[in-house]
A and B are shown apart, each in its own frame.
Chain A
Amino acid sequence: MSDLLSLSAVEARAALDAGDVSAPELTEAYLGAIEETGPLNNYVAVTADKAMDMAKVSQDKISAGEAGLIEGLPVGVKDLFCTAGVASTACSRILDGFTPTYESTVTANLWREGGVMLGKINCDEFAMGSANETSAFGPAVNPWQAGDGVDLVPGGSSGGSASAVAARSALLATGTDTGGSIRQPAAFCGVVGMKPTYGRCSRWGIVAFASSLDQAGPFSRTVADNALMMQAMASHDPKDSTSADTPLPDLMAALDKGVKGMKIGVPSEYVMDGMDSEVVALWETGQAWLRDAGAELVEISLPHTKYALPAYYIIAPAEASSNLARYDGVRYGLRVEADSLDDMYGETRAAGFGDEVQRRIMIGTYVLSAGYYDAYYLKAQKVRRLIRQDFDTAWQQVDAILTPATPTAAFPVGRKVEDPVTNFLNDVFTVPANLAGLPGMAVPAGLNTEGLPLGLQILGRPFDEATLYSIGRVIEDAAGFDAVPARRAGGV
């Protein structure tokens, strides 16, 4: 019954409560969809038995009138989240065979609210990448294609999550975003992706990449579904010392608030060389939609924007080099035997980490090493403050900021890039929000002339996710984005 796959999460919840469909039926439909879309390589492990068991429990809770927020809804989990009894590898060889004995706080929250776990989803190794091509499991593929039929990347690092939601092999999915890893793939795959405020979702039990930047968030096909999942996954968690004890407002209530009287900033520094002209045009269209809905558009300046990426590529590798020191061949994961302890470390890490991860650990080690700390790391942290101050100044003028989500649409898998810096530019519009700790949402807003999705990004004040959902809903309604990718389950 493939039309089960076209229900939104909100519609599916209503259908489950009304008894029009059972939780096991819905889960079975998604397990079938995973099989059907197998060539997209979105899942690194399918937990079919666990999914069916969880769906039966959900059905009992629904029948007893005790349904949670996402009761009975099938969820895909980025392989960066530790899941008890289910292998969790961060899509790296170095975590080969690692099966956590504990559950991440975010996934525990989702299961408590009734989510059904479909399996673990492909991503870039340790979330380092913007195309899902650094995964030890090979690239995930975007269900969208241009006319030439070439395989396109889904973006990254949460590429499999965005692709699976777009391909209808997950109704909802978790992601993490350190420099754009939720918003960029959401834009490439035509789905909604939210990176909440730093501290909104617990980082406990998520494989760490750059701890001062990492945040978990939801993927969905509609803005309302995204608000529903966000409500289920956020919490204050004493096990994460950076977790915020700030109550989450009713996000569902924010959906229909509109933007009348709202001031929305348009940063002049976000017009960049090499930007796709269709992206610029869509951005202007987005501004017109919000103006028509009663918002006031205000030109603002975020003068340090161009320095966000280089600052990020000091801070993130520095934190990563420190976080990834734990992979030592002693406590978990891969071990390559050698005669000395040092060689065992060195051989294990050489064999276990892929090229991109090794490169970033090396950069991070260098910028933290004696004699370079001040010139690189401290300098980057000072620039980070200036970026944060740019936004603080903007919030005195505006309630939210509208930008493009990415400089281009999705590009082909295996695109040859000589200079690693070229790949970093994917994140030019998304990285500032991570450095400043702000919430950011990507919303699909249209197709380019090749028929590929493009997204807009909305940035907000710390802990003001509600406003992003209000604006996101207006953009969604105005865009009327109802295009579907060719390679989706139930599509043929």
Chain B
Amino acid sequence: MSVDKSTVARIARLARINVPEDRQDQLANELNGILDWIAELNEVDTDHVEPLASVTGHSLPRRADQVTDGNRVDEVLANVPETAGGFFVVPKVVE
């Protein structure tokens, strides 16, 4: 599974990182180097192995379905690059 320039463009789009076209070849090389090395894992027989996602050994704790926090508009907006009337401002998305 080799990554080419068009795959880099596709991944960059999915990751929402604008990668200039003249960087895409180099990035493809770097990613291929890492992916080739990772392919070592194919040597391992994992046919009857369950994936391990969490090492905590306990299930997720439950809590009462209650509102315990809120009314912090000023704090939520304290670091916003652009705000208006208590809202986040983004470029226009609906024509």
Contact = CB atoms under 8 A, between A and B. Distances in A.
Contact of A366 (B11, B51, B56, B81): B11
Interface string B2-13: 010001100111
A456 interface: no
Chain A interface main SS type = helix
Given A238-B61, A311-B41, A365-B15, 9 more contacts: A198-B56, A242-B54, A310-B38, A346-B12, A358-B17, A362-B12, A372-B1, A376-B38, A384-B52
Contacts of B40: 306-307, 310
Interface in B23-38: 27, 30-31, 33-35, 37-38
7 contacts: A212-B55, A245-B58, A331-B80, A333-B79, A341-B93, A359-B27, A384-B51
Interface of B: 1, 3, 7-8, 11-19, 27, 30-31, 33-35, 37-44, 46, 49-58, 60-61, 63, 72, 75, 78-82, 88, 90-93
Contacts of B8: 362
A332 B15 contact: no
A238 B3 CA distance: 42
Interface string A82-99: 000000000000000111
A101 interface: yes
A482 interface: no
B31 A365 contact: no
A313 B36 CA distance: 12
Interface residues of A, number: 73
Contacts of A342: 16
What 9 pairs between A and B have smallest CB-CB spacing? A437-B55, A381-B51, A346-B18, A385-B52, A335-B81, A332-B79, A382-B46, A345-B16, A101-B75
A335 B67 CA distance: 32
A385 B34 contact: no
B63 A238 contact: yes
A347 B18 contact: yes
Given A212-B55, A344-B90, A383-B44, A359 B81 contact: no
A362 B31 contact: yes
B28 to A, nearest CB: 10
A376 B34 CA distance: 12
B46 A369 contact: no
A363 B34 CA distance: 8
Interface in A50-78: none
A122 B92 CA distance: 37
A112 interface: no
A307 B45 CA distance: 12
A339 B79 CA distance: 22
